[in-house]
Chain A
Amino acid sequence: MLIFLLATGLTLTLGLMNVANLAHGSFYMLGGYIGFSVALYTGNFFLGLLASIFSIWIGGMLMYRGLLQQRFAKEELAQMLLCFGVILIVSDLCLWLWGGYPKFVVKPMLFKGSIHLGSIVLPFYRLVVIIVGAIIAVFLWWFQGKTKYGAIIRAGVDDEEMARGIGINIILVRLLVFSLGTALAACAGFLGGPILGLYPGIDVEVLLMAIVVVVIGGVGSLSGALVGAIFIGLINSFGRSLFPEFAMFTIFAPMAIVLAIRPSGLFGEA
């Protein structure tokens, strides 16, 4: 579910805006670290969550406004290089401020312990993360597919000039979508903090996960991201326990197969 949260943000910006935000992993990391510090300082888990989401939301807007929206960033090549510049800056900043040792966000007292469902033992916190992920998934699906704002966003994707012609502020819409994507990454970073931890280099690992999920699921498709995330999550954990020597192949192989059969992903439009 964590992987889903992570991948939705990327698939949103990629599918709805045609911008591959390669700094997605960096926002995950930065959001996680900011939340970690706030939670540690105030002792409140939820304040940490809010801080991480809001700061990265603003950070995403700044990045979009300051770099990606500029005239020189019209081409993909330029966008990718800009994103990579941001990756380097953020990773170095995090290493500088938070050091090289792994940090784990402290779980709130409320969600400690585990639940026994018959013979299965579930850590309560993981269950909460799954539920939060499900809520966000449903919300995004509803927002994108059923509301007026979702319609505006989709209109902007399909025909930017037409949407602009009927009076939609497309620049604002794109800004909001982009920052929503980064905020989702931060949310995943903070919620994943107690489970995966935060350490230098996680930005690229997370980026890999998100990209693979998006590739398998199909770009711009929420259901694709969901299926892809579950698929990769299962394969990854099974692969790691069954063939620890070849854990990466277990990600690589399905991706290669999906690409060979359906280049646009399982749920992507051709």
Chain B
Amino acid sequence: MRRYTLYIYIAVAVILGLLIVLPQILPTYYVGLLTLMLIYAIFAMSLDIILGYTGMFSLGHSAFWGSAAYVVGILNVKVLQESNFPLEMGAGLLFSAIVAAIFGLLVLRTKGIYFPILTLALSLTLWGIPFQMRLFAGGGYGIPGISRPVLNFISWDLSSTTNYYYFVFIFFIIATVAMYFIVRSPFGHALLGIRESETRMQSLGYNVWLYKYIIFIVVGIFAGLAGIMLTYYTNFVGPSQLHILYSFEALLMVVLGGPGTLFGPALGAAIITFAKNIISSYTAHWPMVVGVIYILVVAFFPKGIGNLIKQYLQKRSQP
């Protein structure tokens, strides 16, 4: 096992080093792509905590990141008309937590195939709301012109892509470390137990519902964080950010990367984001190609890349 952990440390160090150094070398386009990768990685990892670790199969993940993004957009453009980063961020995260809390109350009582369907239905209705709210949320056009945070106290200009990349990078590290500790904590182990057998955890005296509810909200906050990062990056929020497309994209990332490993979904996010950008630069029919990718991933990587690597390393490190 010691070699196994050593490999992991080396891999983490190499990836971190690359993530810090690469933006200094790469052209701006690729730095932007890297930023997107990190944002999607936060999003996919947060989905993985409920999907891979807790076994709750949610199709409504875009609801959290979209709603947080909308709060930031409305505050930034319509209410404050200037950048107040701590307030926007706090309000956005709080709102995604509230949305998750409401959704959780409604869906957590259901089991089996009803759970994904309900989360899907709820997030779809949420997607429809901004279309009607023209005055407040810009209707179908969304809210353009969201300014990036102004950090006066350290005079850090976030309008440059490279600087914004490092800004996202900091939050990526914070979120990843936080999620890692959640997964490794007794709380996280209880979640694994719930995934394996809800009944057993119940008879051991765990309040299964409460565990699920808490993790649902926590995950909603992480997804909200990713959504806020994306909104600042694109300077825009529209109904499309609430579209189920993103829920499924995150799902694809998790499945491709390997559910139940935090590293896998991050890798999946990187691969999918990269592939999407490459394909869309070659053909206008990239949705079709992505659709085929969905089918291929399900057919050929049912366990995900992350789990394959994990198995391989574990096998090699055993004497």
Contact = CB atoms under 8 A, between A and B. Distances in A.
A27 to B, nearest CB: 15
Given A89-B288, A248-B131, A263 B109 contact: yes
A9 to B, nearest CB: 15
B125 A85 contact: no
Interface stretch (A128-136, A163-171, A180-188, A239-247): A239-247
Given A14-B113, A245-B133, A207 B288 contact: no
B251 A81 contact: yes
A82 B116 contact: no
B265 to A, nearest CB: 14
A40 to B, nearest CB: 24
B299 interface: yes
Contact of B128 (A88, A244, A248, A256): A248
Interface residues of B, number: 48
A81 B294 contact: yes
B152 to A, nearest CB: 37
Nearest to B256: A81
A92 B287 contact: yes
Nearest to A251: B125
B132 A78 contact: no
Contacts of B106: 256, 259-260
B59 interface: yes
B117 interface: yes
Contacts of A215: 117-118, 121
A4 B287 CA distance: 30
Contacts of B2: none
Interface string A242-270: 00111111011001100110011000000
B121 A84 contact: no
A91 interface: yes
Interface in A163-221: 204, 207-208, 211-212, 214-215, 219
Nearest to B286: A92
Contacts of A88: 287-288, 290-291, 294
A93 B291 CA distance: 11
B288 A84 contact: no
Contacts of B255: 77, 81
A100 to B, nearest CB: 12
Nearest to B290: A88
A219 B114 contact: yes
B302 A204 contact: no
Contact of A255 (B121, B133, B288, B298): B121
B43 to A, nearest CB: 16
A255 to B, nearest CB: 7
A90 to B, nearest CB: 8
B272 to A, nearest CB: 12
A18 B114 CA distance: 10
B178 to A, nearest CB: 25
Nearest to B293: A85
A81 B116 CA distance: 12
B217 interface: no
Interface stretch (A67-75, A108-116, A139-147): A67-75
B124 interface: yes
A41 interface: no
B110 interface: yes
Interface in B250-281: 251-252, 255
Interface in B286-319: 287-288, 290-295, 297-299, 302
B288 A76 contact: no
A91 B126 CA distance: 21
B243 interface: yes
Given A70-B299, A81-B294, A92 B288 contact: yes
A96 interface: yes
B307 to A, nearest CB: 14
A81 B302 contact: no
B129 A82 contact: no
B101 to A, nearest CB: 13
A76 B120 CA distance: 14
A77 B57 contact: yes
A166 to B, nearest CB: 26
Contact of A81 (B110, B125, B252): B252
B288 A248 contact: no
A207 B123 CA distance: 12
Contact of A73 (B126, B244, B291, B298): B298
B4 interface: no
A39 interface: no
A20 interface: yes
Contacts of A14: 113, 117
A259 B302 CA distance: 32
Nearest to A87: B291
Given A81-B255, A252-B126, 16 more contacts: A14-B113, A20-B116, A77-B51, A77-B57, A81-B248, A82-B295, A82-B298, A85-B291, A208-B127, A215-B118, A219-B114, A248-B128, A251-B128, A255-B121, A255-B125, A256-B106
CB-based closest 3 A-B pairs: A85-B294, A88-B291, A89-B291
8 contacts: A20-B117, A78-B298, A81-B251, A93-B288, A204-B244, A215-B121, A248-B128, A252-B125
Interface of B: 51, 57, 59, 102, 105-107, 109-110, 112-114, 116-118, 120-122, 124-129, 131-135, 243-244, 248, 251-252, 255, 285, 287-288, 290-295, 297-299, 302
